Amino acid sequence: MNEQLRSGIEQVLLFDFGRTIKSADTRMLYSAISKAAAALSYKNAEEKPAGKKACYLSAEFLVGRLIYSNLFNLGFLSDTEEILAANGHSLSDFEEIEDDALGNGGLGRLAACFLDSAATHGIALGGYGIRYKYGLFKQKFENGFQKEYADDWQAFGDPWSVRREELSVKVRFGDQTVLAVPYDMPIIGYGGKTVNTLRLWQSEAENSFDFDSFNKNKRSDAVSERIRAEEISATLYPNDETDYGKALRIKQEYFFSSASIQDIVREYTATHGSDFSRFSDLYAVQLNDTHPVVAIPELIRILAEDYDLGFDEAFEIARKTFAYTNHTVMAEALEKWYAGLFVTVLPQIYKYIILIDYKLSTYLRGRGIRGKEAKQYALISENMIHMARLAVFVSHSVNGVAEIHTEILKNDALKEWYALYPDKFNNKTNGITPRRWLALANPALSSYITEKIGDGWITDLEKLKQLEGIISAPSEINRFIEIKNHNKQRLCDYIEKMEGIKLGSNFIFDIQIKRLHEYKRQLMNAFSILYIYFGIKDGTIKNFNPTAFIFGAKAAPGYYRAKGIIKFINEIGNLINSDKDTKELMKVVFVSNYNVTYAEYLTPAADISEQISTAGTEASGTGNMKFMVNGAVTLGTLDGANVEIAEQAGEENNYIFGARVEDIGRIADSYNPVEIYENNPLIKRVVDTLTDGTFSDEGTGMFEELKASLLKGASWHKPDNYYILLDLIPYCEARLRANRDYSDRTAFARKCCANFINSGKFSSDRTIRQYAEEIWGLTSGTDEGN
Ligand code: 26W
């Protein structure tokens, strides 16, 4: 028994709750185990080597549930289970603990995977973000419609974090000053040698209670400062569109960017005083998309105003310190702010943006770029501030997140900048942490792997290649099939518990899980299901292998069309799941409240991973990697990291279909979806279900609008701007091909195995090392995980 851990847990229980391990409830145990384990992690970690440190500034950290992953990385899982079991409890009791959902999707989850990888490999990387009171909303379905509820992730406390009141800083806006109070969360590397920190800032009032107003009997004035301050870190913005609560969003961005930069400068000056000549030798700051880009003028402002550096000197330090990662080419997500609004919220920062803009125009003139050509670079243009341009200009590195995405940045989205600064641009293909996404999420497959090749793969995923010769034997393939079936059953049980829906583990599991967005084409998936359904009913599709079509996705609350797509898929489910002709062959399930925990059940159970975005739209995707690592085939377009997945696993082991980036570029101007719709009766039939009475949208007009988006377009886009009708038939054909191939279960399992065996590239350990070496100029403290 781990006595240190046991006595730690006992002490916390006694001090905090006056209980013993036996008499404590789940919430108390969760708190005590977390606190005791966190304390031990701090105590046992190795001293940090002196040297350069990288800081990852991100508006989102989607860490998920922490208790299992932290105990796993500390090597405490079985110790804890033993302690609990001896007192009549179980580790599985903690499955009711909520996720920490401080992120929307891939960008936030990537940040969490990076922190895990850096700590595992002894890389000095600190995270900086916002401690939202409410994370991403909880989703329920009412009559097939999405309904949102507040996510009270701290309901069971936040026992992993420590409030560091003494490190609070002030953040100033045009009309308000607030206190940023840091909460530190330990980021425990696998093996427990390195513990890094995720520092999340909470916004509080300087004076939470105004006695003067209170005494004058103005009760609401007495607390209004507090309400206005706390609003800043109250909620995560689930919006892809940037047109809501703009001023508050600017405040949020500046709030955590300023607090983080102040923190870094405070740490630096503590040893170096006001000599900033070594600043960029000791700190690298990575900007996770444009959300923290206001950190650039903030650093320049602090150096100029608080430490009397000249503007040019401050600028050069900033340029050497910052690096920028782009995560999307969607125009609507490249942040632009109205200058008029920005200046009222952040007058002191606006001034520096003008100075930077002036420096840019001088530089452009020097390179012979003027007039119209110069305008496309302007940081402030037509009264808008372009945050991505600011990031590219005042940084030394700009990276995309998959090879094809970086090429699109260079040749299209940021091509004029690439012409100016070709050396700044580089690629860092995303990755996922093998600890959470394989070792923890898929115990059956991971113990099989360890049995065959030892556990070195946990910190060096390329080792999975050693299974190549081993797993080809028929008996081994059968074991893989057993493991897959086991994971399917586990998912069936979970879905039954969460949704009250029964699925059979003998079905093919075909899964699409990701944010709901038109470019990700969940609607195309829905049409394809109807195409198959009608084909089976008509008798044109025969010998179809039973398939469960599973969706998980949240739609941004203001994204009307995305919500229409959810309702449509739920309607399809109602029809198909109750049709006795197809009941044994098809099931359609939209799981509710898709989150990290759900993904941990879904990815190990999948046979088919749906990655069907329009070519050129998905920057990378990371869900695609989670499926691959767990042995599913990809049914996908040549978009984002799918390209590299097919390259690594072999195109013959995946199902690649549809238009490529070049194809779309070529046809874009002449594309006519109405012609496709009119000329193909099968396509017409599935699209018409939106309006022919097959389904009801309860009079909301949502389905009509969806159909119009495909055939008529809208004021802001052409008809079918994500080419659903173009790719629909090739998609259905690839899907049916995969379904036929599954009839030979062994041959299909071989494809699945080729995928997970060759997934080594997609470990975030590889990605973070590349950031450390190629962008930050860091070397890892320890090269091995343990
Ligand atoms: C307006 C603010 C805003 C806009 C978009 C906030 C958040 C978002 C998205 C949720 C950003 C996002 O998650 N992007 C995804 O980043 C992943 C990590 O690089 C990529 O794998 C995905 O392709 C990309 O969509």
639 Cβ inside 6 Å of ligand 1: no
CA distance 412 to 409: 5
- What residue spans of 367-398 are helical by DSSP H? 371-375, 387-393
Q: Check 109, 133, 428, 520 and give the catalytic one.
A: 520
Q: Locate 353 and state its tokens.
A: 């943006």
Where residue 207 falls among pLDDT bands split at 50, 70, 90?
Answer: confident
Q: Locate 612 and state its tokens.
A: 């069907």
Q: Is it the case that residue 333 has pLDDT exceeding 50?
A: yes
**Strands, E, within 189-255: which ranges?**
195-205
Question: Do 613 and 519 touch, CB atoms closer than 8 A?
Answer: yes
Using a cut of 0.95, tell me whether the model's pTM lies above it.
yes
Where residue 239 falls among pLDDT bands split at 50, 70, 90?
Answer: confident
Q: Does the annotation mark 745 as catalytic?
A: no
Count of CB atoms within 10 A of residue 142's CB?
7
Phi-psi region of 368 (alpha: psi -120 to 50; beta: other; left: phi over 0): left
CA distance 26 to 7: 18
Q: Does the annotation mark 43 as catalytic?
A: no
CA distance 506 to 497: 19
Dihedral sign for Cα 480, 486, 487, 492, please: positive
Over residues 68-85, mean pLDDT = 97
Q: Give, as one character, the DSSP assignment of residue 173.
A: E
Q: Locate 81 and state its tokens.
A: 């289970």
Distance (angstroms) between ligand 1 centre and the Cα of 666 equals 27
CA distance 628 to 609: 8
Where residue 784 falls among pLDDT bands split at 50, 70, 90?
Answer: very low
Count of CB atoms within 10 A of residue 382's CB?
9
Q: How far apart are the first and last CA of the chain?
A: 22
Over residues 129-138, mean pLDDT = 97
Question: Do 150 and 137 touch, CB atoms closer than 8 A?
Answer: yes
Q: Give, as one character, the DSSP assignment of residue 439.
A: I
79 Cβ inside 6 Å of ligand 1: no
300: which residues sit within 8 A by CB, 6+ positions away? 311, 314, 315, 318, 352, 355, 356
pLDDT for the residue numbered 241: 65
Q: Locate 321 and state its tokens.
A: 């310190």
pLDDT in tens, 397-424: 999 999 999 999 999 999 999 999 999 9
* Closest CA to ligand 1's atom 8: 240
Question: What is the dihedral angle through the alpha carbons of 61, 67, 70, 75, rounded to the nearest 10 degrees?
Answer: -160
Residue type, 78: S
Determine the 3-state secondary structure of 540 from DSSP. coil
Where residue 219 falls among pLDDT bands split at 50, 70, 90?
Answer: low
Q: Give, as one character, the DSSP assignment of residue 714.
A: B
Query: Per-residue b/e over 601-632, b at no fewer than 16 CB within 10 Å?
Result: bbbbbbbbbbbbbbbbbbbbbbbbbbbbbbbb
- The two beta strands, 547-552 and 586-591, are parallel
pLDDT for the residue numbered 244: 59
CA distance 31 to 35: 6
Q: Locate 621 and state its tokens.
A: 């995707």
357: exposed, middle or buried (Cβ count in 10 Å: 0-12, 13-18, 19+): buried
* Closest CA to ligand 1's atom 12: 107
- What residue spans of 578-672 are helical by DSSP H? 596-605, 623-629, 642-649, 661-667
pLDDT for the residue numbered 783: 45
Q: Does the annotation mark 121 as catalytic?
A: no
pLDDT for the residue numbered 780: 60
CA distance 145 to 567: 5
Mean pLDDT of the chain: 96
723 closest CA partner among 672, 650, 647: 672
Q: Check 109, 133, 327, 554 and give the catalytic one.
A: 327
CA distance 644 to 625: 10
- CA neighbours closer than 13 Å in the CB half-sphere of residue 513: 31
CA distance 4 to 8: 6
284: exposed, middle or buried (Cβ count in 10 Å: 0-12, 13-18, 19+): buried
Where residue 64 falls among pLDDT bands split at 50, 70, 90?
Answer: very high
pLDDT for the residue numbered 331: 80
357 closest CA partner among 385, 319, 326: 385
Residue type, 157: G
Distance (angstroms) between ligand 1 centre and the Cα of 239 equals 11
CA distance 723 to 701: 22
**Listed range (85-99, 141-155, 197-211, 538-552) with the worst mean pLDDT:** 197-211
Q: Locate 206 and state its tokens.
A: 């300087």
* DSSP codes of every residue in 2-19: -HHHHHHHHHHIIIIIS-
Q: Is it the case that residue 336 has pLDDT exceeding 70?
A: yes
Distance (angstroms) between ligand 1 centre and the Cα of 482 equals 36
pLDDT in tens, 652-691: 999 999 999 999 999 999 999 999 999 999 999 999 999 9
- CA neighbours closer than 13 Å in the CB half-sphere of residue 57: 31
182 Cβ inside 6 Å of ligand 1: no
pLDDT for the residue numbered 785: 38
- The two beta strands, 322-325 and 283-288, are parallel
Helix %, strand %, coil % for the chain, to 5?
55, 15, 30
From 60, 107, 404, give the residue whose CB has the most ligand 1 atoms within 8 Å, as the site to mutate: 107
526 closest CA partner among 687, 349, 417, 311: 687
pLDDT for the residue numbered 2: 94
User: Residue written as tokens 């690839």?
Assistant: 734
Distance (angstroms) between ligand 1 centre and the Cα of 330 equals 10
pLDDT for the residue numbered 585: 98
CA distance 132 to 90: 30
**Strands, E, within 416-515: which ranges?**
425-427, 508-513
pLDDT in tens, 182-193: 999 999 999 999
Q: Does the annotation mark 769 as catalytic?
A: no
pLDDT for the residue numbered 209: 62
pLDDT in tens, 522-551: 999 999 999 999 999 999 999 999 999 999
pLDDT for the residue numbered 245: 82
461 closest CA partner among 653, 647, 626: 626
* Closest CA to ligand 1's atom 4: 240
Q: Which percentage of the chain shows pLDDT scores above 70?
A: 97
Residue type, 392: V
pLDDT in tens, 243-298: 558 899 999 999 999 999 999 999 999 999 999 999 999 999 999 999 999 999 99
Q: Is it the case that residue 212 has pLDDT exceeding 90?
A: no
240 Cβ inside 6 Å of ligand 1: yes
Q: Check 622, 634, 689, 767 and give the catalytic one.
A: 622
419: which residues sit within 8 A by CB, 6+ positions away? none
Determine the 3-state secondary structure of 27 from DSSP. helix
Q: Locate 87 and state its tokens.
A: 């007192």
Q: Does the annotation mark 622 as catalytic?
A: yes
**Strands, E, within 416-498: which ranges?**
425-427
Over residues 734-749, mean pLDDT = 98
Q: Is it the case that residue 332 has pLDDT exceeding 90?
A: no
